[in-house]
Amino acid sequence: MFVPCDRGGGSASPDFKGFTLLMPAVSVGNVGQLAIDLVISTLDMTKVGYFYTDCLVPMVGNNPYATAEENSVELSINAEVYSLPSKKFVVLQIRSPFIKNKYRPFCQMLLSWVKSSNFARVILLSSSHAYQRDDEQLLGTPLRYLLTPDLEKAIGGLMQELNWKEMEKVAAYPGINDTEKILHIPGGGITKLLFKESCSKGIQMAVLLKFCSEGDNIPDAFALVNYLNEWLQLIKSEVSTSNNSTDTSSQWKIPSSWRLLFGNGLPPALF
Amino acid sequence: MATFFGEVVVAPSRAGVDDEESAEEAGEETPEDREIRRELEKKREIDVLWTLKSGAPAEGSADEPFACSKFIVAIGHSAAAFLSSFILDSVCWEVVGVVKLWNEWCRTSNTTNVLPTDSFCLFYRLISDPTVLLCQCSCYVAEDQQFQWLEKVFGCMRKEGLQVTILSTCPVADYKTQESTLTLPSPFLKALKTKEFKEQVCCPLLEQPNIVRDLPAAVLSYCQVWQIPAVLYQCYTDVIKLDTVTIEAFKPLLSSKILKSLVKDVSESTKFLKKLLTTNETHNNIYI
């Protein structure tokens, strides 16, 4: 359940009516979560509440987006909500995996919160196993999108303009019967479930995902967040004069919590 | 993906949802499967038995939530032994509750007369001030049981005026730092506190990108969300078993506001620690 940070003085829960909700799926390479870290850190978003749930593994730590001594002592938990009212933009960050058998209740709870808060739309950042691509998917861009029918009606044309590639359906019984096609997102965690549920509940949801493998997924996170930025224009993309590209990689702020991702310093005695 | 020997294996992923658990399969759960799953869930349920009023233990929550001003929780053998050495005794404290649980790692013992190396979860109350509650939890509470523990324990107390102190230990190898952990002088203490906690902490705060997991994290998260002042003292140690050096690393806490008034006689502490040392030595000796 959503629990606002500020509950004193009789102030009501923050109003998210008409806002866009951005959230990650815990998926291969944690790319969605890393991309969300970049968004929160760069836009300097304010924490407005917690998503208190028994479905995620508990964890705590000090502020992962700390920039100075003063703001480094705020405690963070495994699922928190950040807001940028000027852009009508809310972000849910999830920092730990699901407890066994709890991913379904989590999806139910999340979607009912989306409905009750009257979010205009939901954008889900996710990823999928690169090794499960077919021959065609191996070529070209590794980024894909999906839109629920309700969102397709609203902005389907924009995706054409952006020249984005829709996630292909695959054969339900490969090699046996190639006519029946289904949506298959291996390694995508709850992506498929959330998407299917949103379709049936009439929620406007977009899924943005990248094919990747486990490893150093920081470049994947940058690719995904730049992909998102092509649509939402969260930060201005500078046209680089040297190669005439709109690469915004240098403008995303890496949070302080990304330090030491691959272990501690080495003991001097090793050498 | 293929391994060096050419066999094809499924790559482990951090996705958190195994592909075997995917939507299609879950819809095909038979009544037998459901029954088995229900039985397993029941086996993993935890029971909190309180004896707050004199007489027989009462199952679940007390008739009404009891007032609690200080709740001190020691998680893990060393933290529990620290409280046994420096705070608890049979004169000033009485046992008021016990948690019964089972998981793949441990089963709590049935008695209240426990050894420091046993798996148990007991609640004690200060006789002179019944709003001071202490918990020693040296059993491992699995991730699917942590929320239950929180709701069943905190559900019994009134949260107004409550302050929580959590003690736990963690391997120093988990500590992330620029230098190597081999050169760090362990054991050492690090703290994390909720927004509402305004008092002095007895050691440096835990720096990013370090995090805390398991029951200590669950308790601190609960306090942060429900705006309860709470502080967690995590001791990073390189000794896995119960040892006196790790226990003594918690000593700076004895000067904190919460524990200052509860410290028992120094001679009692020394006696307890000595006994602990000899018990350990006997067990560690593999030669007859």
Domains of chain B: 65-108+115-284 (3.40.50.10900)
Most confident of A62-71, B115-124, B129-138: B129-138
- Put simply, whether A251 touches B (Cβ < 8 Å) is no
State mean pLDDT over A40-68.
94
Question: Could you give the strand order of the β-sheet that contains A75-76, starting from the edge strand earlier in sequence?
Answer: A75-76, A59-62, B211-213
Q: Judge whether A32 is closer than 8 Å to chain B, CB to CB.
A: no
At residue A189, the pLDDT reads 93
Residue of B124, B76, B108, B66 lying closest to B232 (CA atoms) = B76
DSSP B202-253: SSPBPPTT-EEEHHHHHHHHHHHHTT--EEEEEEEES--S--HHHHHTTGGG
Q: Output the pLDDT for position B59.
A: 46
Do A189 and B179 make contact, defined as CB atoms within 8 angstroms?
Answer: no
Stretch A171-180: mean pLDDT: 81
Average pLDDT over residues B35-55: 81
Please say if the pLDDT value at position A221 is more than 60.
yes
* B9 has pLDDT over 90: no
Distance of alpha carbon A262 from alpha carbon A10, whole angstroms? 45
Query: Taking residues B260-272, what's their average pLDDT?
Result: 82
User: Is pLDDT above 60 for A241?
Assistant: no
pLDDT at A33: 96
- Test the A interface: residue of B211, B223, B234 with most A CBs within 10 Å: B211
Radius of gyration in angstroms for the set of CA atoms belonging to chain A, rounded to a whole number: 19
Q: CA nearest A25: which of A97, A121, A109, A100?
A: A97
Top-confidence residue, A37 or A100 = A37
Q: Closest approach of chain A CAs to the CA of B265, in angstroms?
A: 35
B199 to chain A, any CB pair closer than 8 A? The answer is: no
With a CB-CB cutoff of 8 Å, which residues 65-104 of chain B face chain A?
none
Contacts of A7 (CB under 8 A, 6+ apart): B227
Write down the pLDDT at residue A70. Answer: 82
List CB contacts (< 8 A) between A192 and chain B.
22-23
> Is residue B186 predicted with pLDDT exceeding 80?
yes
Average pLDDT over residues B58-81: 81
Strands (DSSP E) found in chain A: 2-4, 20-24, 46-51, 59-62, 75-76, 79-84, 89-94, 121-129, 143-147, 170-173, 177-182, 205-212
pLDDT number for residue B43: 87
pLDDT at B55: 43
Lowest-pLDDT range, A196-205, B30-39, B196-205, B221-230? Answer: B30-39
Residue A271 to residues A240, A266, A268, B89, B184, Cα–Cα distance (Å): 43, 9, 6, 51, 18
Flag whether residue A68 sits within 8 Å of chain B, measured between CB atoms.
Answer: no
Of A203-217, B192-206, B221-235, B249-263, the poorest mean pLDDT is in: B249-263
Residue B128 has pLDDT above 80, yes or no: yes
At residue B199 the predicted structure's pLDDT band, cuts being 50, 70 and 90, is very high
Instruction: Read off the tokens for B255.
Output: 């000067």
- Among the partner-chain residues B11, B143, B177, the one whose CB lies closest to the CB of A264 is B177
Residues A129, B18: Cα–Cα separation, whole Å? 13
For domain A16-235+250-260, the question of CATH label 3.40.50.10900 is answered with yes
Mean pLDDT of the region A217-246 = 80
Answer whether A62 touches B (CB < 8 Å).
Answer: yes
Model pLDDT, residue B275: 78
pLDDT tops 90 at residue B182: no
Q: Which residue of A has its CA nearest to B194?
A: A75
**Among the partner residues B179, B205, B208, nearest to A257 by beta-carbon distance:** B208
Sequence-ordered strand ranges (E) for A105-256: 121-129, 143-147, 170-173, 177-182, 205-212
Instruction: Answer yes or no: are the C-beta atoms of B52 and B65 closer than 8 Å.
Output: no
**Strand runs labelled E in B47-176:** 47-50, 58-59, 66-67, 70-75, 93-100, 121-126, 132-137, 157-158, 163-171
Per-residue confidence (pLDDT) for residue B183, from 0 to 100: 78
B259-to-A197, A200, B132, B254, B271 alpha-carbon distances in Å: 51, 56, 11, 5, 20
Q: Domain limits of chain A?
A: 16-235+250-260
Going by pLDDT thresholds of 50, 70 and 90, the confidence category of residue B281 is low
What pLDDT is recorded for position B34? 84
**Residue A27 touches chain B, beta carbons under 8 Å:** yes
CA B267 from chain centre, in angstroms, equals 27
Nearest CA in chain B to A48: B225
Helix axes A103-116, A191-201, angle to 10 degrees: 40
Pick from A209, A183, A216: which is nearest to A197 by CA? A183
pLDDT, average across residues A107-135: 94
- Closest-CA distance, B91 to chain A, in angstroms, reads 36
Of A109-118, B60-69, B227-236, least confident by mean pLDDT is: B60-69
Contact (CB, 8 A) for B201 and B188: no
Say if residue B187 is preceded by a cis peptide, omega within 30 of 0: yes
Q: Rounded distance, CA A89 to CA A81, Å? A: 11
